[in-house]
Structure 1
Amino acid sequence: MIYKVYFQASALEVPVREKTQTLYVQADSERDVRLKLKDRNYNIEFVQAVKNSYLQYEEQSENYKVLEL
Structure 2
Amino acid sequence: MIFKVFYQENLLEVPVREATKSLYVEADSVQAVRSQLADRNYNIEFVQEVTGAHLEYEQQNEDFELETR
SS class of match (1:23): strand
Structure 1 runs of 4+ with >4 Å offset: none
Shift of 1:68: 2.3
| Count of aligned positions | 69
Q: Pairwise mapping of residues 1-69 of structure 1 onto structure 2 (< 5 A)?
A: 1-69=1-69
Aligned residues of 2:27 and 2:68 also touching (Cα < 8 A): no
TM-score scaled by length of structure 2: 0.97
Q: Secondary structure at the match of 1:64?
A: coil
Question: What RMSD over aligned residues (CA atoms) do the two structures have, in Å?
Answer: 0.5
User: In 2, Cα distance between the equivalents of 1:46 and 1:33?
Assistant: 11
TM-score w.r.t. length of structure 1: 0.97
Deviations 1:45-67 (A, max 9, x none): 00000000000000000010001
Give aligned-pair identity as a percent. Answer: 55
